[in-house]
Structure 1
Amino acid sequence: MARASSKTPRGTSSPDPMPERVDPCLAMLVDKPPKGPDWAFEVKWDGYRLAVHVEPDRVRVITRGGYDWTSRFPSIAAEARQLGYETLILDGEAVVLDDEGRSDFGMLQRALGKRPSLHDRREIIFFAFDLLYVDGWDLRRLPLRERRWLLDPIVAGLAGAIRLSEEVQADGDEFFRVACAHGLEGIIAKHVEKPYRSGRGEWWQKITCKRRDSFVIVGFEPSTVPGHLGRLLLAARKDRDLVYVGGCGTGWSNELSRELRKLLEGMVTKAPAVALRRKGAVFVKPLLVADVEYRAWTDDWKLRHASFKGIREREDDSTVFALLRNDSQGAEER
């Protein structure tokens, strides 16, 4: 069993009741990292946000929405009991790492799924990045730098189901560049002098590594608003064929929505360019290419958080996103 830390919270006088649940602090999305000595950075993990509650007679693993998912994370719950504290609340993210050490949401979903999978729940890791309560002391009133000072001896050096999400004191722009170059989802910036505040605010900021590529438009879904576009259906190249990779339903104004709908209605075909059955879909001739900004790929090669950025004619396939023959190997262009 791990030893309890000799560190004690500062500025406290009497024991505090343990919260039944703490609404999590959520990061605000910004375009670029903040600057200044009061900011520290962490990797943005792509998983499930969890709070681990160690209580005298039980351990609870609580989701961001307040659901008790202890049974889904038995390894995390078991290791939390061995940390050496009677009461404790850790804030962090549950992930599954790929061979390159990157968090993969698809792998996490498979590990938690009911169907047989190459991944199981023993692969799930909880990266702790904040300490909210410990042995009678509510730490949320303390600045982040003190909460991290208390967190480090509890989980630093652990290499099992619970680990420390490392904090980096670095130039934000450079850390962000390196994170994106390594295929990470992005970074989180946290103000080290701020207390823990539930809800979304500027004291925690997230900067995501966005990707932008071109995809062939193979159809659309009408909007519930007459004459408007609901969603574009997109495809990528795979050998000589087109493969459906999902769609996007944001990124255009009301005026552009009507123009795109009218343009695509002039290209309707009864012979879809991709093998896809989708109720309400209208298929079009694959003559146009959409420039799309997106976050990442799902496990089954569908776009995540795609947003429309522009349209052009399909003069050739040189700039259209291409998939390798073997999906497990990844894609040619990222």
Structure 2
Amino acid sequence: MTKPPRKSPKPLLGEADALLRSRPRRRRDPDQPSLPLDLMPDRIEPCLALLKPKPPKGDDWVYEVKWDGYRLSVHVGPTGIRILTRGGHDWTDRFPAIQQAALWLPVGTAILDGEAVVLDEQGRPDFGLLQQSLGGRGGKKSSSDAIFMAFDLLYFDGHDLRNSELSMRRHLLEDLVPAGEQGDIRLSEEIEADGDLLLASACEHGLEGIIAKRRSAPYSSGRLGDWVKIKCVQSDSFVIVGYERSTVARAGIGRLLLAARKSKTLVYVGGVGTGFNERNAHELRENLDGLITSTPAAVVDRKGAIFVKPKLIAEIEYRAWTGDGKLRHASYKGLREEQDNAAVYDLDEQRLSSSSR
């Protein structure tokens, strides 16, 4: 016959309803330092994905959808919420729904890394819709349509997680933002699949591409190769150095003239004449007419070209490059915000990346 358990000689709670504590085995050495909490960083430079033509292979790589929006970090602090752009600008007031959702997170302090997106009717991120919800480039509107897709956790309840492996950071993130929830802060879920098959599926569903990340890697600011992006359709940022007029439609813009960086100069890489609608063409023309100059920022051999100061950055979707270094089948997606700190396509960087494949 099983004996009943022995009655505990001590109550679980003391006289003042305080938890009983075990006694230390020995007195603490006063010269031994305590383990203090990490100070919460004011800002963290983001980890950036390196462009590759094919998904990497191996058990150390995990995959996610590539989100087409604005990179943000959401800071949950003791005094409130801050939402910062990739360039460190405070856009808290421009994303009130994300701010409110961050207030409801079950955490005292945290820094979440992710992307603000607006989804279309098929549930796909649409950069144009995101820009429209914010009032266009230079607009001051607040977007209640944007949601935040969280894909990393850099700071959590007093602890800096950047030196921890991705797998641990993701474990904590998934506790904070559970998979499948449909609020204004959602989890960018990891997908267990073959990289090539996942990329094909993403392209079939009209997504921009996928991201591959090393499970064992810490969080490193910059573009070091621990994160890799593989795109269905190429989409990059280029400087607008001029335009050609149209007499038939689209607020008189027939073609934007684009340039990429090479060392410290700008190199003409062709133009784009599609992707405009009446609304964004009118906005473009207003911006461009205030930047007209007689000094071209890049060498452009186009009759009738109107040159502008290289102040505006356009997001351009394209299929390939021609043999003479021009964009092929280019389409305009929208203007990048200055505060977004978007990286202009760098010809030297891409050459080095290609030579290391």
For 2:48, what is the secondary structure of its paired residue?
strand
In the TM superposition, residue 304 of structure 1 has moved relative to its aligned partner by 3.2
Amino acid in structure 2 at the alignment position of 1:194: A
For 1:175, what is the secondary structure of its paired residue?
helix
Name whichever structure is richer in strand by fraction.
1
> Which residue is equivalent to 2:170?
148
Amino acid in structure 2 at the alignment position of 1:71: D
> Which residue is equivalent to 2:226?
203
> Which residue is equivalent to 2:88?
66
> Which residue is equivalent to 2:155?
133
> Which residue is equivalent to 1:309?
322
In the TM superposition, residue 112 of structure 1 has moved relative to its aligned partner by 0.8
In structure 1, runs of 5+ residues without a counterpart are: 1-11, 213-229, 252-256, 261-275, 285-297, 312-319, 323-334
> Which residue is equivalent to 1:39?
61
Matches within 5 A, 1:1-334: 14-113=36-135, 121-156=143-178, 157-210=180-233, 244=254, 246-247=256-257, 249=259, 282-283=302-303, 303-304=316-317, 308-309=321-322
CA deviations 1:175-220 (Å, max 9, x no partner) are 11111111111111100100001111110001111269xxxxxxxx
How has the CA–CA distance of structure 1 residues 204 and 64 changed in structure 2, closer, same or farther, with 3 Å as cutoff?
Answer: same
**CA–CA distance in structure 2, aligned partners of residues 35 and 234 of structure 1:** 48
For 2:181, what is the secondary structure of its paired residue?
coil
Amino acid in structure 2 at the alignment position of 1:15: L
CA deviations 1:48-106 (Å, max 9, x no partner) are 10000000111000110011110101111111011121101100000001111111111
In the TM superposition, residue 153 of structure 1 has moved relative to its aligned partner by 1.4
For 1:173, what is the secondary structure of its paired residue?
helix
**CA–CA distance in structure 2, aligned partners of residues 153 and 188 of structure 1:** 22
For 2:216, what is the secondary structure of its paired residue?
coil
Amino acid in structure 1 at the alignment position of 2:173: L
Larger radius of gyration: 2
**CA–CA distance in structure 1, aligned partners of residues 317 and 133 of structure 2:** 20
For 1:123, what is the secondary structure of its paired residue?
coil
How has the CA–CA distance of structure 1 residues 112 and 82 changed in structure 2, closer, same or farther, with 3 Å as cutoff?
Answer: same
**CA–CA distance in structure 1, aligned partners of residues 147 and 230 of structure 2:** 23
> Which residue is equivalent to 1:332?
none
What is the RMSD of the two structures over their aligned residues, measured on CA atoms? 3.9
Output the TM-score relative to the length of structure 2.
0.59
What percent of counterpart residues are identical?
48
CA contact (8 A) 2:233 2:318 kept: no
How has the CA–CA distance of structure 1 residues 83 and 111 changed in structure 2, closer, same or farther, with 3 Å as cutoff?
Answer: same
How has the CA–CA distance of structure 1 residues 139 and 211 changed in structure 2, closer, same or farther, with 3 Å as cutoff?
Answer: closer
Q: Give every structure 1 segment of 4 or more consecutive aligned residues whose post-TM-superposition deviation is greater than 2 Å.
A: 230-235, 243-251, 276-284, 302-308
For 1:201, what is the secondary structure of its paired residue?
coil
**CA–CA distance in structure 2, aligned partners of residues 250 and 198 of structure 1:** 23
For 1:107, what is the secondary structure of its paired residue?
helix
Amino acid in structure 1 at the alignment position of 2:212: A
CA contact (8 A) 1:249 1:308 kept: no
Amino acid in structure 2 at the alignment position of 1:209: C
For 2:168, what is the secondary structure of its paired residue?
helix
CA contact (8 A) 1:88 1:135 kept: yes
Amino acid in structure 2 at the alignment position of 1:96: V
**CA–CA distance in structure 2, aligned partners of residues 205 and 113 of structure 1:** 31
CA contact (8 A) 1:249 1:307 kept: no
